[in-house]
Amino acid sequence: MRETFIATTTALLDEDPRTALVLADISAASFAEAHRRHPDRVLNVGIREQLMAGVGGGLALTGMRPILHSYAPFLIDRAYEQIKLDFGHQDTGAVLVSIGGSYDAAAEGYTHQSPGDVALLDTLDGWTVHVPGHRDEVPAMLRDAARHDDRVYVRLSAQENSLAHPDGSRLRVLRGGTGPLVVAVGPMLDPVLEATTGLDVTVAWTNTPRPFDSDGLRALVTTGEVVLVEPYAKGTSAHLVSEALIGIPHRALHLGVGRAEVRRYGTRYDHARAHGLDPAGLRRSISGFVSWTRS
């Protein structure tokens, strides 16, 4: 996904003079050629993430369309107040593109992991959040975001589904059933499909959890039972599920990255297992939810 982001952003810089890229050293080498061609619009501020956001905010104030990029914990967690004030409070926007997600950087440790990025943006108004499940979903997200001035977050990850799905802006049913609804966000689709093999559930998917497809959820929750599987902090979307289903008696299970820090290195597969987000862990949780329903 990172390579797709680099290719698409490089093309956007060539095609649209409004596009500007602000980096804080991360991925700077990959944009060296773009910087040579557009020295005024490819800006590497060094390891200064507060400034990266401030520069993005200033660019937006002059009518440019800034794209900011770094590891999720540096882009979002570290510069949270700059994101809050230098964009939202100024009534401007930007495209924030992160890599690393919740635990791609497993061996790097917790400093390089941001399970809370989407929850942090949920405290702010007007952020569209894209969580692509496959690299081929990325170009359309970036090209669409470059065309307007709103606030957009694109959360890239090393975890990918085997297939790309072209339109994930709303909930799409990818496996029909008569039982509970299981919603997979972004790259959680493949683990969810594997985990629910043989279970009578409906599996729906989106790569755009914000704005949340409340109408789609209401239409699909036929049994009043929903499982939400997100690749970031567990329960991040709980408040939106609750709001969407107000007036509908329902039961919900939220699966995602746990709050407790996993003080182990290893790989992202190890961390998925530790958080119960591997197919086996998901199957345990979802089966328990389903059997509780039927008992």
Q: Which of 36, 63, 249, 294 binds other proteins (CB under 8 A)?
A: 63
Smallest distance from other proteins to CB 54, Å: 2
Which residue from 138, 295, 121 is spatially nearest to 211, judged by alpha carbons? 121
Residues 6+ apart with CB under 8 A from 141: 130, 132, 152, 154, 207
Distance CA(74)–CA(197), nearest Å, equals 37
The pairing of strands 42-44 and 127-130 is unpaired
Residue from 10, 56, 76, 119 that binds other proteins (CB under 8 A)? 56
Q: Under the criterion CB under 8 A, does residue 62 sit at the interface with other proteins? A: yes
Task: Please report whether residue 91 would count as binding other proteins according to CB under 8 A.
Answer: yes
User: In degrees rounded to 5, what are phi and psi of residue 252?
Assistant: -135, 145
Helix (H) or strand (E) holding 3: helix 2-15
DSSP state of 110: G
Minimum CB distance to other proteins, residue 26 (Å): 15
User: β-strands 251-257, 225-233: how paired?
Assistant: parallel
Return the number of other C-beta atoms located less than 10 Å from residue 33's C-beta.
10
57 binds other proteins (CB under 8 A): yes
112 burial type by CB count under 10 A (0-12 exposed, 13-18 middle, 19+ buried): middle
Q: Which residues are within 8 A (CB) of 140 and not within 5 positions of it... i.e. 6 or more apart?
A: 166
Considering beta carbons, is residue 79 or 182 the nearer one to other proteins?
Answer: 79
Q: Looking at 11, 58, 214, 224, which residue binds other proteins (CB under 8 A)?
A: 58
Show the site string, 208-237: x = touches other proteins by CB under 8 A, - = not: ------------------------------
If one asks whether residue 64 binds other proteins (CB under 8 A), the answer comes out as yes
Residues 6+ apart with CB under 8 A from 212: 237, 240, 241, 244
Q: Is 95 in the site for other proteins (CB under 8 A)?
A: no
Contact between 101 and other proteins per CB under 8 A: no
Give the shortest CB-15-to-other proteins separation in angstroms: 15
Q: Is 59 in the site for other proteins (CB under 8 A)?
A: yes
Site for other proteins contains 14 (CB under 8 A): no
- Rule CB under 8 A: say whether 45 interacts with other proteins: yes
Q: How far is the CB of 34 from other proteins (least distance, A)?
A: 14
The least distance separating other proteins from the CB of residue 127, rounded to whole angstroms, comes to 18
Task: Examine residue 211 and say whether the peptide bond preceding it is cis (omega within 30 degrees of 0).
Answer: yes
Identify the residue among 7, 16, 50, 270 touching other proteins (CB under 8 A): 50
> CB-wise, 56 or 187, nearer to other proteins?
56
Q: Reduce the DSSP state of residue 93 to 3 states and report it.
A: coil
Nearer to other proteins, 147 or 284 (CB): 147
Provide the residue type at 115 as one letter. Answer: P
The footprint of other proteins (CB under 8 A) covers 17, 20, 22, 40-41, 43, 45-46, 48, 50-51, 53-64, 66, 81-82, 85-86, 89-91
